[in-house]
């Protein structure tokens, strides 16, 4: 969470391109959809079309690809990114994974979803994205991660990704964050894996996750440092 706060006070790094946030964002509620609509509507600078909080796909592919390799019961393997924004996680998995994946990115910001669909389809003069495996697919949908009933039935996904979404939702109160976690676990396959990426200290995050995910195994891996900040991958897994 500290990284989110630092990014709101300082020029943000858009994979090497600086883009300042309006001063009002620093004191805003990160659970406010209008805030994210305004953020995602800002012009992209430079040649990188995606915007990543914390880090992008390249930094965590070493963690994700072995999980995809292990979970080969479903082909293609279904992946859900909750609060995807305009991150490179979904697009990186789709274009670079050598394993077949069916990736769905959901976000409550219609601006983010429209932008990512345009990026996927090659809008604004760009080249359409091509899958890293011929059986892979990628879709984006507007949905509230705290209520995924319109997205999928229970146990539908083998891998769920949450990069900073718990952090943002928790700014609106921990009950909302627990509702997010509950919905993620509902749509996660009992043998699947949910990964929360955050810079929040394990002493703070682990008790919350253990309280909200009874019957699941909760572990943590240290990531980075990236750009001088240490992050954590909180893995919530069923029985393999």
User: Residue 149 is part of a domain; what is its CATH number?
Assistant: 3.40.50.150
pLDDT value at residue 14: 34
Which of the four pLDDT bands, split at 50, 70 and 90, describes residue 73?
low
Write out pLDDT tens, residues 172-222: 899 999 999 999 999 999 999 999 999 999 999 999 999 999 999 999 999
125 within some domain? yes
193 within some domain? yes
136 within some domain? yes
Which residues are paired to 194 by β-bridges?
A: 160, 236
Which of the four pLDDT bands, split at 50, 70 and 90, describes residue 72?
low
Angle value at C-alpha 154, between 131 and 167, nearest 5 degrees: 75
The pTM (predicted TM-score) of the whole model is 0.85
Rg (CA), the chain: 17
Total domain count, the chain: 1
225 within some domain? yes
76 within some domain? yes
113 within some domain? yes
Of 143, 127, 65, residue with least CA distance to 101: 65
210 within some domain? yes
Write out pLDDT tens, residues 168-185: 999 889 999 999 999 999
> Pairing mode, if any, of strands 101-107 and 137-142?
parallel
46 within some domain? no
Domain span holding position 214: 72-236
């Amino acid at each position: 969470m500290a990284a989110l706060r630092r990014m709101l006070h300082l020029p943000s790094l858009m994979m090497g391109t600086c883009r300042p946030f309006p001063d009002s964002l620093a004191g805003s509620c990160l659970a406010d959809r209008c805030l994210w609509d305004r953020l995602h509507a800002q012009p992209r600078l430079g040649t990188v079309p995606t915007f990543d909080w914390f880090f992008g796909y390249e930094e965590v592919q070493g963690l994700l690809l072995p999980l995809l390799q292990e979970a080969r019961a479903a082909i293609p393997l279904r992946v859900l990114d909750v609060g995807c924004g305009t991150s490179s996680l979904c697009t990186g998995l789709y274009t670079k994974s050598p394993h077949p994946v069916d990736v769905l990115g959901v976000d409550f910001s219609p601006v983010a979803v429209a932008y990512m669909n345009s990026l996927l389809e090659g809008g604004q003069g760009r080249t359409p994205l091509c899958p890293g495996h011929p059986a892979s697919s990628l879709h984006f949908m507007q949905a509230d991660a705290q209520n995924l009933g319109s997205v999928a039935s229970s146990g539908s996904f083998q891998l769920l990704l949450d990069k900073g979404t718990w952090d943002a939702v928790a700014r609106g109160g921990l009950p909302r964050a627990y509702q997010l976690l509950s919905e993620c676990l509902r749509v996660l396959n009992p043998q699947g894996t949910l990964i929360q990426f955050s810079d929040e200290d394990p002493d703070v995050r682990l008790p919350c996750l253990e309280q909200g995910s009874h019957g699941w195994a909760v572990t943590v891996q240290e990531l980075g440092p990236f750009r001088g900040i240490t992050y954590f991958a909180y893995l919530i897994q069923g029985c393999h």
